[in-house]
Amino acid sequence: MIDDWRAGGFGVYVHWPYCLAKCPYCDFNSHVTRTVDHSAWRSALIQDIQSAAAKVPNRTVDTVFFGGGTPSLMHPETVARVIEESGAVWTLAPDAEITLEANPTSVEMDRFRAFATAGVNRISMGIQALNDPDLRRLGRTHSVAEARAAFDIARAAFDRVSFDLIYARQGQTREAWRAELGEALTMAIDHLSLYQLTIEPGTRFGELADLGKLRDMPEDEIASDMYLETQEICAAAGLAAYEVSNHARPEAESRHNLIYWRYGDYAGIGPGAHGRLTRDGIRRATGGARHPDAWLERVNKTGHGLDEETEMLLMGLRLRDGVDTTRFANLNGKPLDPATLNDLIADGRLEQTRDTLRATSAGRPVLTAILRALLV
Same-domain check for residues 51 and 132: yes
Do 27 and 121 reside in the same domain of the chain? yes
pLDDT at 310: 36
Quick check: 12 and 65 in contact, CB under 8 A? yes
Percentage of residues of the chain with pLDDT beyond 90: 71
- Provide the residue range defining the domain that includes 70: 4-260
Compute the average pLDDT of residues 230-236. Answer: 97
Q: How confident is the model at residue 311 (pLDDT cuts 50, 70, 90)?
A: very low
Query: Is-contact 261 318, C-beta < 8 A?
Result: yes
Q: How far apart are CA 26 and CA 34, in angstroms?
A: 19
Structural domains counted in the chain: 2
CATH of the domain at 214: 3.20.20.70
**Dist CA 329 CA 265 (whole Å):** 18
CA distance 112 to 154: 7
Domain-embedded: residue 266:
no
Lowest mean pLDDT of 149-153, 330-334, 342-346, name the range. Answer: 330-334
Report yes or no on 338 lying in a domain.
Answer: yes
Pick from 223, 195, 255, 198: nearest CA to 25: 198
Question: Among residues 276, 252, 63, 250, which one has the least CA distance to residue 159?
Answer: 252
* 178-217: pLDDT as tens digits: 999 999 999 998 999 999 999 988 899 999 999 999 999 9
Residue 313's pLDDT is: 45
pLDDT higher than 60, residue 1:
no
329 part of a folded domain = yes
Task: Report yes or no on 297 lying in a domain.
Answer: no
Domain's final residue, options 233, 260, 287: 260
Stretch 105-123: mean pLDDT: 90
